[in-house]
Amino acid sequence: MVDDLTPHDEIMMESLYWWGIPTLFRCPVIKDPAECDIALVGVPHSTGNGTTERDQHLGPRSVRDISALARRCHGPFQLDPWNTCRIADLGDVPLPEANDNEKCIERITQFFEKIDAAGVRPVSIGGDHSITGGILQALGGENSNLSKGGKVAILHFDAHTDAFEQIPHFLGAYKSAAHWAAYLVRNCHVDASRSVQLGIRGYPRTLNWTKTSNDLGYEVIDIDRYHELGAEATVEIIRERVGDMPLYITLDLDCFDAIVAPGVSNLECSVEGMWQRDVMHVLRGMRGMDIIGGDVVCLMPTKDSPNKMTSHLAAAMMMEMVCLIADRHHRD
């Protein structure tokens, strides 16, 4: 900070996204997760998708660049999370073998094992959706701290199930963006019988494309069923299903309609997606639950509009997750 600035001047300067050194939500950068309650993490990984749309590794930097403009307080919760919890930017997961998906997943798991050991709840920005596999290998299962050695439930917003076991790998990536929702269940990190996949839609290439999710035990609420149920009934289903289990939230930005989120890696334009009010309502419906962390994935800055609207949306989703965790922390 510049010493001769008044507190008012500091607030004004910090809200300018183009000024200063960009961190997530202007949080301090620390290396030791034990020094915070909520850890913000960038996971600049893009080889788990395996398509030509590989610019998802630019997502964390893009959100850092604009997140100073994000909301500072949560009106419905009457909460200022930044003054309620110790929140810090832990930087990016180092991925020196960036073109090797399997090695990257190992490094992501190792990074989040340190966060888990400290009992800190992470909110991450990716990166393609394979990062969720790496993260939950650390946060869920017999060796995890946050889940007390048990499995976790997940609330999975997406246009796709990411449980495509019928293909052995995705263009050479095994623990890929197309596989994580299956292998985490098979390897006892996630309890599908207590988890929900929400917003599923898109271009089915087989008529049984949700079969694996159903066989694994997920509650699949596709976009048509969501519109039939409505947001409130959907929240009731999720809360009843998850119960008191530790909950992890993963949000693929392609769950949103392409008009809302054009800068994603797998556009699904044939079927209307979710809107901000839908996702916000469901997220806020998780208030009070034992949320151990969350991530926002599949941001494609190079495909975004010039005003970076998808990056702003990603920051808004991270803010909701931060506030859900901070609100519970404050109540406890």
Domains of the chain are 7-331 (3.40.800.10)
pTM: 0.95
Q: How far apart are CA 235 and CA 229, in angstroms?
A: 10
User: Is 332 within 8 Å of 325 (Cβ atoms)?
Assistant: no
* Peptide bond preceding 285 in cis form (omega within 30 of 0): no
| Residue pLDDT tens, the chain, 332 long | 456 788 878 877 777 778 888 999 999 999 999 999 999 999 999 999 876 577 999 999 999 999 988 888 999 999 999 999 999 999 999 999 999 999 999 999 999 999 999 999 999 999 999 999 999 999 999 999 999 999 999 999 999 999 988 888 887 788 988 899 999 999 999 999 999 999 999 767 778 889 999 999 999 999 999 999 999 999 999 999 999 999 999 999 999 999 999 999 888 988 999 999 999 999 999 999 999 999 999 999 999 999 999 999 999 999 999 999 999 987 77
Question: How many C-beta atoms surround the C-beta of residue 114 within 10 A?
Answer: 16
Q: Tokens standing for 325?
A: 């965790």
